[in-house]
């Protein structure tokens, strides 16, 4: 948990490349059906925790909600509190018991216990799944992305609060990156996570992330691209030059014995698709199953 001056919270999309790699990794490890199996998010009422609730039974109840949501029936998460620099810590082992330590400050901020446990229990889930990224930073980004895309991490964005003097943010993603992943999930599952936010700053960050997620679906050669990007795409296709910009993931042209093909990232899972550059076609992603109308 951060208690820093407001302007020290990192903003924007500095980890976007790793976030997108994490989405691809989830689809590769779980399959499209496996990801869609997490179609319902953790409900706000299931993790509600007021100051009137008994602390230890309450925190074990919330941990059980996270274990159940991530389908870890053989895992038992035991939660304790202590003074520490970080918000929380989990001891990863062979199981079936896992020990999570929460910062003592959560005793006074019980509404954010669900957010902290969403991250730590996702560590357990990834550990049992055998999915990890090299390096602490990238692995923590994978954890935040997985928690959010699978329906538990909206709590992490809602824990973001900021005023003129102080700020609080949980997790390693920026607020806008949490919003981006949430928007990706919303477009997959038909949910509207914004109705669950209690933090106005979370809502604003979600709106910025949502805008980028929408843009992913409107980058050439996708047919939904605006006319000015279509015009640039046609010019670059004639020259065989890559384009699209870093935010959109970029497209590139490849010539082979069958003609010219264009490759671009699937807006859902970010794996690269390749289609002939010969007009209107439909591209089906072999990883996530999404189908996209293209004008190549």
289 located within any domain? yes
pLDDT, average across residues 111-126: 96
One domain for residues 77 and 159: yes
What domain count does the chain have?
2
Residues in the chain: 296
Domain stops at, among 217, 246, 274: 217
pLDDT at 6 over 80: no
Is the pLDDT reported for residue 116 higher than 90? yes
Note whether 250 and 188 are same-domain residues. Answer: no
Residues 136 and 168 in one domain: yes
Write the DSSP symbol of residue 196: G
- 7 domain-assigned: no
Shared-domain flag, residues 187 and 229: no
Q: Answer yes or no: is 277 within a domain.
A: yes
| Same-domain pairing of 26 and 138 | yes
**Average pLDDT value for the chain:** 91
Residues 6+ apart with CB under 8 A from 81: 101, 102, 103, 104, 106, 107
Q: Which of residues 159, 187, 217 is at a domain's end?
A: 217
- Of 202, 217, 232, the position where a domain reaches its end is 217
Q: Tell me what the mean pLDDT of segment 88-92 comes to.
A: 89
Residue 31: give the domain boundaries.
15-217
What value does the mean pLDDT take over residues 39-49?
A: 94
Cα gap 267→265, rounded to integer Å:
6
pLDDT score at 1? 30
Taking only the tens place, the pLDDT of each residue in 209-258 is 999 999 999 999 999 999 999 999 999 898 887 776 555 568 999 887 77
Residue corresponding to tokens 């929408």 = 214
In this prediction, residues 164-185 reach a mean pLDDT of: 92
Please, are residues 93 and 72 in contact by the beta-carbon 8 Å criterion? no
Q: Is 271 left (phi over 0), alpha (psi -120 to 50) or beta?
A: beta
Q: Are residues 144 and 202 in the same domain?
A: yes
- Is residue 274 domain-resident? yes
In a domain, residue 2? The reply is no
- Confidence band, pLDDT 50/70/90 cuts, at residue 120: very high
On whether both 169 and 248 belong to a single domain, the answer is no
- Residue 265 pLDDT exceeds 80: yes
Residue 34: predicted pLDDT:
97
Cβ count within 10 A of residue 126:
22
pLDDT value for 74: 81
**Does residue 165 register a pLDDT over 60?**
yes
Instruction: Answer yes or no: do 100 and 228 share one domain.
Output: no
pLDDT class of 27 with cuts at 50, 70, 90: very high
Is the pLDDT reported for residue 7 higher than 50? no
pLDDT band at 30 (very low <50, low <70, confident <90, very high): very high
Give me the phi and psi of 240, to 5 degrees please: 70, 25
User: What confidence score (pLDDT) does residue 247 get?
Assistant: 55
Instruction: Kindly state whether residue 36 falls inside one of the protein's structural domains.
Output: yes
Mean pLDDT is highest, among 21-30, 83-92, 272-281, for: 21-30
In a domain, 8, yes or no: no
Q: What is the pLDDT of residue 244?
A: 67
Partners of 295 in beta bridges: 280
Both 178 and 55 in one domain: the answer is yes
4 in a structural domain: no
pLDDT of residue 94: 75
- In this structure, are 228 and 179 located in the same domain? no
Q: What is the pLDDT of residue 193?
A: 94
Q: Does residue 210 sit in the same domain as residue 240?
A: no
Q: Is there a single domain that holds both residue 171 and residue 71?
A: yes
């Amino acid at each position: 948990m951060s208690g820093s001056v407001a302007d020290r919270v990192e903003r924007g999309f500095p980890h976007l490349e790793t976030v997108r790699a994490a989405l691809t990794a989830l689809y590769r490890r779980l399959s499209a059906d496996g990801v869609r199996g997490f179609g319902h998010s953790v409900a706000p009422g299931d993790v509600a925790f007021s100051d009137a609730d008994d602390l230890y039974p309450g925190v074990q109840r919330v941990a059980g909600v996270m274990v159940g949501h991530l389908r870890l029936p053989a895992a038992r998460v035991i939660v304790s509190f202590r003074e520490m620099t970080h918000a929380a810590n989990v001891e990863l082992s062979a199981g079936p018991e896992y020990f999570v330590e929460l910062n003592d400050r959560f005793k006074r901020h019980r509404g954010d216990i669900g957010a902290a446990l969403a991250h730590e229990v996702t560590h357990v889930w990834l550990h049992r799944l055998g999915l990890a990224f090299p390096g602490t930073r990238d692995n923590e980004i994978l954890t935040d992305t997985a928690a959010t895309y699978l329906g538990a991490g909206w709590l992490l964005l809602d824990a973001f609060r900021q005023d003129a003097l102080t700020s609080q943010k949980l997790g390693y993603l920026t607020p806008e990156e949490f919003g981006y992943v949430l928007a990706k999930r919303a477009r997959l599952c038909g949910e509207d996570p914004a109705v669950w936010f209690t933090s106005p700053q979370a809502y604003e960050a979600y709106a910025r992330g949502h805008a980028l997620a929408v843009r992913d679906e409107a980058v050439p050669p996708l047919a939904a691209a605006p006319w000015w990007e279509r015009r640039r795409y046609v010019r670059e296709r004639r020259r065989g030059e890559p384009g699209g910009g870093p935010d959109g993931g970029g497209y590139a042209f490849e010539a082979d014995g069958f003609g010219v093909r264009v490759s671009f990232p699937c807006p859902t899972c970010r794996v690269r698709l390749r289609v002939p550059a010969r007009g209107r076609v439909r591209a089906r992603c072999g990883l996530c199953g999404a189908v996209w109308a293209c004008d190549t």
